[in-house]
C-alpha cells in the first residue's frame, strides 16, 4: 500500500517538475515527444499495446516489491483498459506463483511459516475461498499470500476466482489515481495548477482511506465471526 502511494506521489512530482523545468529552459520538447510517441502508439495499435501492457504487467507482478504499477498504467492506458490489464495480469501472476509454491516449495513453506499455516488451514476449513477473498480486499501482502496459499489445501479454482474478484476494488482505486495525474502537455500548458486539481486530491485521499475502510469493515465482520460459527454448527 505504501509503495503504491509513494509511486503515485513520485510520478506526480516528477512529471510536474519535468514539465515546469523543461518549459522554463525550452527543452521540454524532448521528453514531451517521447510521451506523445507512446500515447500515439497505444492509440494507433490498441490491441498490440494492450498485449504488451498485459505481458509486461504480468512479468513485473511475479517480481516481489514492484508495487505501484496500476498507478502508472492508469496514467498511460486510461481507467477501464488499465483496470482490465492490472486485474488480469495480477491474477495470472498470482496463479503462477501459487502453482509454483504448491509444486516445488510446499513443504519448505509449511515448515518456515508453521503457525501461520495452521491458522490458514483452519480459516480455509471454515470459510473456504471467502477467507482469501477477504484477505485480497484487505490488501494483504500480494506475493506472500500467493506462496502461502499454495501450501494449503485451497483448490486452484477457488484461489483464482477469489483473487480475481478480491483485487478489483483496490486496483480500481489505484488506476483512478493514475488517471488523474496530468500529462506533460497539461503541466506545460497549465503549470503547477494542473497538479492541484480536485480529482487528483480526491485520488490521493481514496488511496489512503480505502484500505482503512476495508480493514474496518472486515474487523466488524470478524467480531461477529464466532457467533456465526456457533449458529452454523447448531
Residue 62 lies in a domain: yes
User: Please, which residues have CB within 8 angstroms of residue 5's CB and are 6 or more apart in sequence?
Assistant: 204, 207, 208
Three-state DSSP class for residue 197: coil
pLDDT reported for residue 227: 45
Asked, for residue 95, whether it belongs to a domain, the answer is: yes
What confidence tens digit (pLDDT) does each residue in 55-102 have? 999 999 998 877 788 988 999 999 999 999 999 999 999 999 999 999
Q: Domain for residue 50, yes or no?
A: yes
> Would 35 be classed as within a structural domain?
no
- Report how many domains make up the chain: 1
pTM of the model: 0.78
Q: Residue 234: pLDDT above 50?
A: no
Q: Is 16 helix (H, G, I), strand (E, B) or coil?
A: helix
Task: Print the domain residue range for 107.
Answer: 46-182+197-233
Kindly state whether residue 187 falls inside one of the protein's structural domains.
Answer: no
Q: Is residue 160 part of a domain?
A: yes
The residues near 95 (Cβ < 8 Å, ≥ 6 apart) are: 156, 159, 160, 163
Rounded to whole angstroms, the Cα distance separating 124 from 111 reads 18
Task: Establish if 31 belongs to a structural domain.
Answer: no
Segments in the chain forming alpha helices (H): 2-25, 28-44, 46-62, 69-77, 79-100, 106-112, 114-127, 129-137, 142-150, 156-166, 168-179, 184-190, 198-223, 225-233
Q: What is the DSSP letter of 140?
A: -
126 located within any domain: yes
Block residue for cell numbers 492508469 = 74
Using CA atoms, how far apart are residues 4 and 203, in angstroms rounded to an integer?
12
Amino acid at each position: 500500500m505504501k509503495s503504491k502511494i509513494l509511486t503515485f506521489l513520485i510520478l506526480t512530482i516528477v512529471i510536474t517538475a519535468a514539465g515546469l523545468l523543461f518549459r522554463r529552459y525550452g527543452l521540454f520538447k524532448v521528453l514531451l515527444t517521447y510521451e506523445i510517441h507512446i500515447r500515439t502508439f497505444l492509440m494507433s495499435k490498441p490491441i498490440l499495446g494492450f498485449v504488451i501492457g498485459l505481458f509486461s504487467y504480468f512479468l513485473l507482478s511475479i517480481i516481489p516489491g514492484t508495487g505501484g504499477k496500476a498507478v502508472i498504467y492508469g496514467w498511460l492506458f486510461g481507467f477501464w483498459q488499465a483496470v482490465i490489464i492490472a486485474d488480469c495480469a495480477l491474477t495470472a501472476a498470482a496463479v503462477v506463483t501459487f502453482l509454483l509454491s504448491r509444486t516445488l516449495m510446499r513443504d519448505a513453506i509449511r515448515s518456515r511459516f508453521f503457525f501461520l499455516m495452521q491458522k490458514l488451514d483452519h480459516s480455509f476449513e471454515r470459510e473456504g475461498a471467502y477467507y482469501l477473498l477477504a484477505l485480497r480486499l484487505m490488501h494483504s501482502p500480494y506475493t506472500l499470500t500467493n506462496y502461502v496459499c499454495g501450501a494449503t489445501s485451497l483448490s486452484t479454482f477457488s484461489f483464482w476466482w477469489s483473487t480475481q474478484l478480491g483485487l478489483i476494488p483496490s486496483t480500481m482505486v489505484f488506476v483512478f489515481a493514475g488517471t488523474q495525474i496530468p500529462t506533460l502537455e497539461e503541466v506545460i500548458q497549465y503549470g503547477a495548477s494542473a497538479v492541484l486539481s480536485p480529482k487528483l486530491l480526491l485520488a490521493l485521499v481514496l488511496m489512503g482511506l480505502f484500505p482503512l475502510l476495508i480493514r474496518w469493515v472486515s474487523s466488524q465482520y470478524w467480531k461477529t465471526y464466532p457467533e456465526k460459527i456457533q449458529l452454523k454448527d447448531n
